[in-house]
């Protein structure tokens, strides 16, 4: 019986080779899929962990399309800061923020462009944003951009930058360029 099976295999070498190749490709695709999904999952977990690094409590409100829905106002934030055991409390606003290049073309995908506010602590720094040039916005009319967006728009500190949010397009002065791993900031 063994000799008959061996003769059959030797008579159909191409069939054997294709079967071995099919099994190898199947194992390679399954292994590749498992590695890819694990890598992607780890990236999302790390991103979430870094976005909330040093955060013990997070309170969120969503206004949606109804801008009359109240968020957390400054008075409430001050009350939270005054509570026993609270080391610091920061307000955060994020949402759509489209940045135009000097020719007026939108940088990024458009629908997924987001931005967030700069909320420095007592030391004047925000742990989520590491500035490589300039500094964080310290007055009205100034804005900071992430390194990728500034590079795509060929912006330098001091340049005028046009930004569209949920209202009209406004022009700001670029105060700084930063790096971040904050998922709320992208272009």
CA distances from 4 to 10, 11, 100 (A): 10, 10, 74
Mean pLDDT by 10 residues, the chain (187 residues): 84 90 97 95 76 71 60 81 84 81 84 76 75 87 90 93 87 91 63
Answer yes or no: are the C-beta atoms of 136 and 175 closer than 8 Å: yes
Q: According to the model, what pLDDT value does residue 91 have?
A: 77
Residues in the chain: 187
Beta carbons of 149 and 108 less than 8 angstroms apart: yes
Q: Alpha-carbon torsion 134, 138, 140, 146, what sign? A: positive
Q: What is the pLDDT of residue 187?
A: 52
- HSE, side-chain direction, 13 A CA sphere, residue 144: 26
What is the CB-side half-sphere exposure of residue 183 using CA atoms within 13 A? 11
pLDDT at 23: 97
Contact 176, 134 (CB under 8 A): yes
pLDDT at 68: 58
pLDDT of residue 104: 86
């Amino acid at each position: 019986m063994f000799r008959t099976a061996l003769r059959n295999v030797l008579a159909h070498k191409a069939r054997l080779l294709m079967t071995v190749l099919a099994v190898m490709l199947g194992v390679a695709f399954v292994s590749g899929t498992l590695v890819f999904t694990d890598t992607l999952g780890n990236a999302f977990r790390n991103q979430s962990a870094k976005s909330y690094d040093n955060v013990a409590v997070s309170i969120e409100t969503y206004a949606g399309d109804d801008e009359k829905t109240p968020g957390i106002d400054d008075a409430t934030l001050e009350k939270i800061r005054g509570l026993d055991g609270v080391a610091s409390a920061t307000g955060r606003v994020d949402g759509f923020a489209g940045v135009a290049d000097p020719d007026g073309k939108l940088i990024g995908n458009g629908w997924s462009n987001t931005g967030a506010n700069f909320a420095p602590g007592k030391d004047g720094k925000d742990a989520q944003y590491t500035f490589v040039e300039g500094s964080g916005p310290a007055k009205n009319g100034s804005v900071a951009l992430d390194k990728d967006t500034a590079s795509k728009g060929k912006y330098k500190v001091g340049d005028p930058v046009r930004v569209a949010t949920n209202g009209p397009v406004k022009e700001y002065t670029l105060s700084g360029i930063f790096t971040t791993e904050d998922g709320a900031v992208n272009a």
